[in-house]
Amino acid sequence: MPREVTHTAHGPRILTPADVDDEKGDVAICLCGLSEEYPFCDGSHRRTEDESPDTLYKYVDGERREVTVKEE
């Protein structure tokens, strides 16, 4: 499932023991790129569950758009 995500950070975010979720006992890092709590997962990845593997998507201001890729 390809997805184009815009990142604006210019460096790493160092994780500390304070980042561990007290209830779950773990730290979930967002790999979908859509979390409002980035770099932590906030469940936003559920919005990607119906993405087609043959379509490129871009999420802008919470809205999903299909990206048309021109072939040369």
Residues near ligand FES (CB under 6 A): 30-32, 34-35, 41-45
Any residues with CB less than 8 A from the CB of 17 and at least 6 apart, and which?
Answer: none
The least distance separating ligand FES from the CB of residue 3, rounded to whole angstroms, comes to 10
Instruction: Give the nearer residue to ligand FES in terms of CB position, either 23 or 71.
Output: 23
Q: Which of 22, 24, 30, 40 is nearest to 3 (CA)?
A: 30
In the complex, what is the shortest distance from the CB of residue 39 to ligand FES, in angstroms, rounded to a whole number? Answer: 9
**Residue closer to ligand FES (CB basis): 32 or 56:** 32
